[in-house]
Amino acid sequence: MEKKIDRKETVNIIKDVAQRYIEAHGKPPRVLIAVGGSAMILHGLRDDSEDVDLFSNETAVERIALDLEAESGYRVDVTSQKTLWGELNIHDIEQDAVVLENLVLEGYSVDIAAISPETLFVIKSSTMREKDRDDLFLIFPATSPEKIFSRFASLWKNQDISVRSEALINIVEEVQLVTKSPVSFSWFSDVPDAILKRWAPVLEENFPFQSEENHDISPGF
């Protein structure tokens, strides 16, 4: 049975990765960003996980993680792919990341960051994995439909055309699931008009919109 990793252990493992990197290279890693369950733990949305999930575009970090995994018995997964576990291209991972801890190691300041709750929700909505669906209920209290769809709008143009509509449908369906409510106009209030017009045919075809009086009406974009 794999060890459960709580917040303290998550931070300590990331700290160990950074420490080993500094010892090997004489400088801190350029970026260490928690994703997946580790991001949820750092945001206080989950108590523990079975592994540590990190994003880094340095192969040296991946090698260090493998060594640490072999020594510690903890699973430490490092990905350099901006699609992470699905097909969505999270092209701005570094800009999206929120710094949640700061460490001083060997005189260097090292930030421990995590992707935002909105990005977590968007990614996990698109994977169609049951365990990710369960996580959506834990993530949602830290965000809102408006923030989620605004976040997806910022990612929209970077997606393969075959992914876009399917991802939008999945996200709307999952927001409906966690809110236990039908699609509302207000969910898209922070989406730029130009993108909303691109979404309109998909939304109109797949979802009944409701007015304040709960009558089905056309979105009328």
Q: Minimum mean pLDDT among 64-78, 104-118, 124-138, 172-186: which range?
A: 124-138
Per-residue pLDDT tens digits for 22-33: 999 999 998 899
Helices 117-127/145-156 angle, 10° precision: 70
User: Domain-by-domain residue ranges, the chain?
Assistant: 5-115, 118-217
Backbone angles phi, psi at 155, to 5 degrees: -100, -15
Whether residue 56 contacts residue 112, with contact meaning beta carbons closer than 8 Å, is answered with no
* Confidence category of residue 213, pLDDT binned at 50, 70, 90: very low
Predicted pLDDT of residue 217: 38
pLDDT score of 127 more than 90: no
CA 30 remoteness from chain centre: 20
Residue showing tokens 């931070």: 11
* Confidence category of residue 11, pLDDT binned at 50, 70, 90: very high
CA quadruple 78, 83, 84, 90: dihedral sign? positive
Per-residue pLDDT tens digits for 175-190: 999 999 999 989 999 9
Predicted pLDDT of residue 2: 60
pLDDT score of 97 more than 50: yes
Q: How confident is the prediction for the chain on average, in pLDDT?
A: 90
Predicted pLDDT of residue 210: 56
